[in-house]
Structure 1
Amino acid sequence: MPTNGLHQVLRIQFGLLNDADRYLTAESFGFKVNASAPGLKRKQTWVLEPDPGQGPAVLLRSTHLGRYLSAGEDGRVACEAERPGPDCRFLVLPQPDGRWALRSQPHGRFFGGTEDRLSCFATAVSAAELWTVHLAIHPQAHLRSVGRRRYVHLCAREDELAAEGDVPWGVAALLTLLFRGRRYCLQSCDSRYLRSDGRLVREPEARACYTLELKAGKLAFKDCDGRYLAPVGPAGTLKAGRNTRPGHDELFDLEASPPQVVLLAANRRYVSVRQGVNVSANQDEALDHETFLMQTDPQTKKCTFYSSTGGYWALVAHGGIQATATQVSASTLFEMEWRGRRVALKASNGRYVCMKKNGQLAATSDFVGADEEFVLKLINRPLLVLRGLDGFVCQRRGSNQLDTNRSVYDVFRLGFRDGAYHIRGLGGGFWYTGSHGSVCSDGELAEDFLFEFRERGRLAIRAGSGKYLRGGASGLLRADADAPAGAALWEY
């Protein structure tokens, strides 16, 4: 399996939702905690850390403050400990419905309450001491079976999800986790939901909803009968097995899903490595050899392209481009220039990548013309979830406008035509730019939006007006930003 940071297990960040539908919050003032927030944002985000003493207890650290939750003998709770002490140790006690009860290890009392009346003094578990885990990460990812050491893919021929892939290549490896009614659904790339019997269905019915459990940084999915999803049989078909306790076979890693792209050259053929190490525009259809995993270097903002054959694009002698590099270096980094519906790539020699007459790519041009421009298409996001600085993009209730500050998210459909993207809203209408730059979601005609992959895991979206989509202070999505930065960058 490729390394070099291509397959990164996500660090599980989450919110804790109480029985009153409010999130556990860590405040900067006085390092106090409360359960008053209706949404999941930075102050409501936590991570679990193991007990340094190697015991069964865990530590709860606020990602907002970088400090640890503690409970004193008198039941008072705070989030001010810079280093974990005995009072920071809690036992997580999963309940039959999947919620957590948190018990102080040194004092034996349970943590709970409402609003600003939180304490860790209850001697028994009631509704006020139960917490639902709500993941605070982007919900589109790859799922890897711990037991099988294989990735879950949509198998179109067998019409199922199966843990049978050595690498998460192509759109079939994308899964979307939907949080609905305190439970999770697993949605395949073709918008269907996994039911516990292994079937894929069009609606998120009861048997397609699962309680999420965390086990030492791994995920387990429990169905409504108390059984856990696991790969079953020689093909690794994903369905609920017989086990009512999660073991090795029922655990999964959630991994980041970097963008995978195809490039179309001026000769209307796809860039490929099908015929060897040379990168050439010589194929009429886009399959695995024409798909490249694209990542942006955090420091230089330049891009790398990784092929299904196991090599990075690299600049070689005489300006040629070959997919032979096993490590990221200066020769594998390409500067991306966004030119409307097309892109141009500049190699480390300061020259642009062009298509030669035989279709091979080489960095030999000093200027950009037709042979130096490519159509770049994102292929592993047919379903789009966007998260900005203040939260997820979600359609406003009873309106055609879009909020950008929600803790829940809507899943939008993505289309593509000649270098531009069309975004379809929940009701089937298209996104378009309305008055004063507001973005609406009920258009009969599709507006062309341009995607620019500016940072690792983040893109900018440019409207037909030339402005970038931005989340404003009002919480509405608007096309009014001049630069692709800050609130105009979206995790996707």
Structure 2
Amino acid sequence: MPTNGLRQVLKIQFGLVNDTDRYLTAESFGFKVNASAPSLKRKQTWLLEPDPGQGAAVLFRSSHLGRYLSAEEDGRVSCEAEQPGRDCRFLVLPQPDGRWALRSEPHGRFFGGTEDQLSCFATAISPAELWTVHLAIHPQAHLLSVSRRRYVHLCPQEDEMAADGDMPWGVDALLTLIFQSRRYCLKSCDSRYLRSDGRLVWEPEARACYTLEFKAGKLAFKDCDGRYLAPVGPAGTLKAGRNTRPGKDELFDLEESHPQVVLVAANHRYLSVRQGVNVSANQDEEMDHETFLMQIDRETKKCTFYSSTGGYWTLVTHGGILATATQVSANTMFEMEWRGRRVALKASNGRYVCMKKNGQLAAISDFVGKDEEFTLKLINRPILVLRGLDGFVCHRRGSNQLDTNRSVYDVFHLSFSDGAYQIRGARRGGGGGGGGGGGGGGGGGGGGGGGGGAGPGRTRGRERAPPPPTRPVPPAGRGGFWNTGSHGSVCSDGERAEDFLFEFRERGRVAIR
């Protein structure tokens, strides 16, 4: 896969929560730190950086100030240092319950406290010196094994997860991180959780919860027995191995999950590259050759379409559309015009893409008619987490009304019909929902993409395998459907599905109407 924009390793941002459920906060005034905030927003977001001296120590940098946390010999702490010095070096000591103890490397004292009474002067670890790690990134992503350079995906036929994919293609490569009892669970696209023995289960039981550890910017997942997840055997089955210290086999990258789409033309057939490099509307089945990775340019808001065969759609002579480009250029960019349940695409020559009589695509139309309209369906968000500028979308406590400023999130289920999506809430009280991730920290924002029906399992680097007889079904019913109230409020208690339209107008963001 070309690396010009397709693979973005997510910068690990997080919050630190103390024993009284308050977040470590870096204030602009006086560069003071406190633990007073009840939720994870911009001021509570931190980055972990390795010590330039190549030792075991790490640095904590405030995401919004760009300055480093430091502890002086007398225990005073601040976030004033513009460059990391000796007092900025901390050792992270993971505890059995998943929390961290932070010890100043030069002074040997532990960092902790409550409210505005924070210090780094404790000689022993008490509850006040323990911090829970709360990721501030969008929790839906791809997981890449560092040692094998392969992506983790759901293998529905083998009933497991495996790190054997050359590309994170299709719905089965989507993972959702669920924050559960101060640990994290790995949730597959069919809403099951990965247990440390490699099995997939419906509830986030103790053996399906992991402590996060960071090493050189990579992630490791430690189970309740102190062992780490790793790809095991020739198939790369993901399970806890024997190691009690994370080596290269136990390290993973989190990568941004771009929308993957299928498009249906006016002849009711899928756009495909199955028969060569021409993009044509000539297939009745939705498989890898009919799936395209859609990426929106931050500046122009135009989009590219990348095929499973390794090429971008590009405009060629006489208006033809081929999936042959290996680099992004003006000819690979398309302007999207949202037309209710349909979308029209305008190429760099200023003309609209249409379906010719033989099914091939060409940018030769000056106006939009039936042959210039396409149905676009997102296939890699069967479950969906949404984040806005101020936080995540989650139901209000004691109510089914949805808020957009929460530090915890609901996991929603999507279905698709004729260009529209139906959104259903998670069942209450089980493993369907989750808390995690951060509020609108830094340049985050955005929704997690949309998604239609999950479809059968896909294999990476080759055509999709035959589907299993049936997809696993959750043991209990889901929650209510999204519906709009009389005053424009949105609730998740509807008995009947209501249609919502998804419009992808900016990178990583979706407008829902």
What is the Cα deviation at residue 162 of structure 1? 0.6
Quote the residue 1:486 is aligned against: none
Residue pair 2:2, 2:327 contacting (<8 A) in 1 also: no
Quote the residue 2:492 is aligned against: 441
What is the Cα deviation at residue 46 of structure 1? 0.1
Q: Per-residue displacement from partner, 1:59-106 (whole Å, max 9, x unpaired)?
A: 111012111111112111111122222221212222233322212222
Quote the residue 1:452 is aligned against: 503
Q: Larger RCO: Structure 1 or Structure 2 (Cα < 8 Å, ≥ 6 residues apart)? A: 2
Residue pair 2:99, 2:182 contacting (<8 A) in 1 also: no
Quote the residue 1:130 is aligned against: 130
State how far apart, in whole Å, the 1-side matches of 2:20 and 2:103 are: 20
Secondary structure at the aligned position of 1:178 is classed as strand
Equivalences for residues 79-478 of structure 1 within 5 A? 79-427=79-427, 428-462=479-513
Residue pair 1:98, 1:213 contacting (<8 A) in 2 also: no
> Which structure 1 segments of 5+ residues have no match?
463-492
Residue pair 1:15, 1:135 contacting (<8 A) in 2 also: yes
State how far apart, in whole Å, the 1-side matches of 2:51 and 2:241 are: 31
Secondary structure at the aligned position of 1:254 is classed as strand
State how far apart, in whole Å, the 2-side matches of 1:223 and 1:86 are: 33
State how far apart, in whole Å, the 2-side matches of 1:274 and 1:175 are: 27
Secondary structure at the aligned position of 2:43 is classed as helix
State how far apart, in whole Å, the 1-side matches of 2:73 and 2:99 are: 24
- Relative to structure 1, the CA distance from residue 406 to residue 246 in structure 2 (aligned partners, 3 Å threshold; closer, same or farther) is same
Q: Per-residue displacement from partner, 1:285-327 (whole Å, max 9, x unpaired)?
A: 1100000000000110000000000000000000000000000
Question: Counterpart amino acid of 2:332?
Answer: T
Question: Counterpart amino acid of 1:174?
Answer: L
Quote the residue 2:50 is aligned against: 50
Q: Per-residue displacement from partner, 1:335-377 (whole Å, max 9, x unpaired)?
A: 0000000000000000000000000000000000000000000
What is the Cα deviation at residue 333 of structure 1? 0.2
Q: Per-residue displacement from partner, 1:366-395 (whole Å, max 9, x unpaired)?
A: 000000000000100000100001111111
Deviates more, 1:102-111 or 1:321-330: 102-111
Deviates more, 1:46-55 or 1:28-37: 46-55
Residue pair 1:341, 1:375 contacting (<8 A) in 2 also: yes
State how far apart, in whole Å, the 1-side matches of 2:199 and 2:161 are: 8
State how far apart, in whole Å, the 2-side matches of 1:24 and 1:88 are: 16
Question: Counterpart amino acid of 2:110?
Answer: F
State how far apart, in whole Å, the 2-side matches of 1:256 and 1:270 are: 26
State how far apart, in whole Å, the 1-side matches of 2:243 and 2:87 are: 35
> Which structure 2 segments of 5+ residues have no match?
428-478
Question: Counterpart amino acid of 1:237?
Answer: T
Secondary structure at the aligned position of 1:152 is classed as strand
State how far apart, in whole Å, the 2-side matches of 1:379 and 1:351 are: 27
Residue pair 1:433, 1:439 contacting (<8 A) in 2 also: yes
What is the Cα deviation at residue 197 of structure 1? 1.2
Identity %: 87
State how far apart, in whole Å, the 2-side matches of 1:201 and 1:94 are: 26
Question: Counterpart amino acid of 1:40?
Answer: L
Question: Counterpart amino acid of 2:208?
Answer: A
Secondary structure at the aligned position of 1:437 is classed as coil
What is the Cα deviation at residue 53 of structure 1? 2.9
Quote the residue 1:477 is aligned against: none
Question: Counterpart amino acid of 1:433?
Answer: T
Query: What RMSD in Å do the two structures reach over aligned CA positions?
Result: 1.0
Quote the residue 1:5 is aligned against: 5
What is the Cα deviation at residue 408 of structure 1? 1.2
State how far apart, in whole Å, the 2-side matches of 1:245 and 1:88 are: 25
Quote the residue 1:473 is aligned against: none
State how far apart, in whole Å, the 2-side matches of 1:391 and 1:223 are: 29
Secondary structure at the aligned position of 1:435 is classed as coil
Secondary structure at the aligned position of 2:305 is classed as strand
What is the Cα deviation at residue 405 of structure 1? 1.1
Quote the residue 2:27 is aligned against: 27
Residue pair 2:50, 2:217 contacting (<8 A) in 1 also: no
Secondary structure at the aligned position of 2:253 is classed as strand
Q: TM-score normalized by structure 1?
A: 0.92
State how far apart, in whole Å, the 2-side matches of 1:154 and 1:448 are: 29
Secondary structure at the aligned position of 1:59 is classed as strand
Residue pair 1:344, 1:374 contacting (<8 A) in 2 also: yes
Question: Counterpart amino acid of 2:162?
Answer: A
State how far apart, in whole Å, the 1-side matches of 2:93 and 2:424 are: 42
Question: Counterpart amino acid of 2:494?
Answer: G
Deviates more, 1:365-374 or 1:28-37: 28-37
State how far apart, in whole Å, the 2-side matches of 1:221 and 1:333 are: 39
State how far apart, in whole Å, the 1-side matches of 2:41 and 2:338 are: 32
State how far apart, in whole Å, the 2-side matches of 1:195 and 1:91 are: 29
Q: TM-score normalized by structure 2?
A: 0.89
